[in-house]
Amino acid sequence: MTGARNKEQVFEIRGLGLNDEVLAMAELERDPVFHKIAPDKYGYYISRSLDMGREAAVRLKGRDIRELLDQAGVKFNLAASAGTGAFKVALRAQLDWSGKVPKITVYRESMRQLHIAAEAAEGALGPVTFDRIVDIHLAHEYYHLLEYRGGQFTNELLDPVECLKIGPFRRTATILQSSEIAAHAFCKELLGLPYLPSLLDNIYLMQTGHMKMEQFAENVKKWKTILSENGLHML
């Protein structure tokens, strides 16, 4: 029963016409100050973030992410669990650069759950193994490490938005999600994934019953409409 339902979901995911821009739009929409972005600037944040992630991956393409971390002097450990039952994305992996040796912790239980979800979406994320799921998270964190070491955070390289204006007083904020979009694009390029790995979050929500396939399909339609209304269908 479950298998049959999952296969149906896979078919529909492939039929959704997902591309990097659509999945990046989904990420952008989650930004805390998304409502402050002028719609005609969505394309700017999306394309610049995707480009920055891809460009950082070009010279590293085909390299083993665990070797890259090793060369960068970053320790990686697989911890049992983040100590919570929540399905929060943030608790899958953590990068801690406060110590002498920077360390990435990846949570085994979260990885196991994502592995099950990815397997249910046969092929939608390419061939998936447990190690591959871990590599996806390592590559994502590696991009943040590159940002940190380069002293150039994606969100800080892009235009800030104005959040508050009272007389001469202005407060601006950067678009933090641009850094996430870039990290996903980096990961996709480095590992040769068919889609931005943020798709895995959605597959996980569907596989665990937290989101219906129809809801995701509706969201995809909405993101595509937003993109085309702002002249981004050609991207």
Closer CB to Zn ion, residue 106 or residue 232? 106
Closer CB to Zn ion, residue 104 or residue 232? 104
Which residue ranges make up the site for Zn ion (CB under 5 A)? 180, 183
Q: How far is the CB of 140 from Zn ion (least distance, A)?
A: 6
Residue number of the CB atom closest to Zn ion: 183
Q: How far is the CB of 214 from Zn ion (least distance, A)?
A: 29
Q: How far is the CB of 42 from Zn ion (least distance, A)?
A: 20
Q: How far is the CB of 143 from Zn ion (least distance, A)?
A: 8
Q: How far is the CB of 221 from Zn ion (least distance, A)?
A: 26
- Written in H, E and C, the secondary structure of the chain is CHHHHHHHHHHHHHCCCCCHHHHHHHHHHCCCCHHHCCHHHHHHHHHHHHHHHHHHHHCCCCCCHHHHHHHCCCEEEEECCCCCCCCCHHHCEEEECCCCCCEEEEEHHHHHHHHHHHHHCCEECECCCHHHHHHHHHHHHHHHHHHHHHCCCHHHHCCCEEEEEECCEEEEECCCHHHHHHHHHHHHHHHCCCCCCCHHHHHHHHHCCCCCHHHHHHHHHHHHHHHHHCCCCCC
Closer CB to Zn ion, residue 25 or residue 183? 183
Helix axes 108-120, 130-150, angle to 10 degrees: 120
Closer CB to Zn ion, residue 33 or residue 217? 33
Closer CB to Zn ion, residue 42 or residue 142? 142
